[in-house]
Structure formats: structure tokens, C-alpha cells
Amino acid sequence: MPCESGRNTALESWAATSAQVVDSVMAANRAAFVAMGVDQSERRADDPDRSEWSIDRSVESAPLSVGDRVTVSKPLERRDLERYAISTGDRTPIEATEIDGERLIQGPMLDGIAGAALSRLPGQTVPLSMDLAYQAPVPIGERIAADCEIVEDLGADQFRLSVTVHGDGSVYADGESVVLME
């Protein structure tokens, strides 16, 4: 059985190596944004659909802490579903995604709405994981909101957030996400 100091040394080495990997990924992302001409001070400012989005944050700048939250909402229309299908290659037929004659939004689009909320946290957000359980079908035309709230500070600039996607009195998906904040 390894001694306690040997295990601590291995853990410290692993933590240092992991931090270097994350730092390298963050630096590569920043370089890619600069190379593509993306201005990170006002992300997505030229989005023609920006006026459809509503954004509410409990905090406008870092540092973040438990209880901080962000909510985004947007009506999801047929054109959003078509754009989603084109950009992801998801070939679920739009016409076939119906219940009782009502066309529905594919569940993975809700992950995207939750991701949009995470990206509105102050600073650079790197999603490390997201786990959502779909609770109910979402009709096309519904205004969908994603609420993300920090529920745990994991240390090393990582946070666990609760994630709820809802609209019109229904919860459509809920779960959690872990993010790295730079």
C-alpha cells in the first residue's frame, strides 16, 4: 500500500498537469478567437436574432460565488429548428417530431439554450460537462428560458450549476453543469 506522502505527491503532480492542460486549452481558444477576429468584449454582437433574446444576470463581473445566476430566454421557432438541423446534421424530420398534431423542438436544442445561459456568465466560460434530463415535449413557438445558478464552488475556478429549462409553466429539462471560469 503506497504511503500517504507518495499519494499526495502523485495527486499534486496530477493537479499541476491538469492545470497546465486547461491553461493550454484556454490559450488556444483565445488565440483561435483572435485569429478569427472575434471580439470577446462583446460576444455575438452582430447576431441578427439578438433582439429575440432576453438576458438577466444576478452578477455583472467576476469573481463568481454560490447563488450567482443567469437566465436567458428566447422564443424557439421553426426556423430555429431548421438552423439547428443544418448546423448539427440532426436529421430528425421536423414534420415527424409531433405529438397530437403539435410540432416539437428536439431535446438537444434545450442543451443549446442552457449553453447560451452559461456563456452569459461574466468572464470566459468553458463548459466541462452538462447533464440534462428531458422532462416534457416543447412546442414550436414557445418562449424557452434557461436558468443557471451556481450551487457549488469546486475550487480551481470551477463551479457546479443547477440548470433548468422551462417555459409556459412547464419544466422541459433540468440537471446540472460544471464550468471552468477564466
Please state the domain extents for the chain.
Answer: 1-40, 49-181
pLDDT of residue 39: 54
Which range, of 10-19, 98-107, 134-143, averages the lowest pLDDT? 10-19
Whether the CB-CB separation of 154 and 124 falls below 8 Å is answered with no
| C-alpha 33, offset from chain centre | 18
pLDDT in tens, 4-56: 666 667 656 665 665 565 556 655 655 555 555 555 554 444 454 557 889 99
Q: Outline where DSSP puts E strands in the chain.
A: 54-57, 69-75, 98-99, 102-105, 125-134, 138-139, 143-155, 158-167, 170-181
Pick the CATH number of 49-181 from 3.40.50.150, 3.40.50.720, 3.10.129.10, 3.30.70.100: 3.10.129.10
Mean pLDDT computed over 149-172: 95
Predicted TM-score (pTM) above 0.75: no
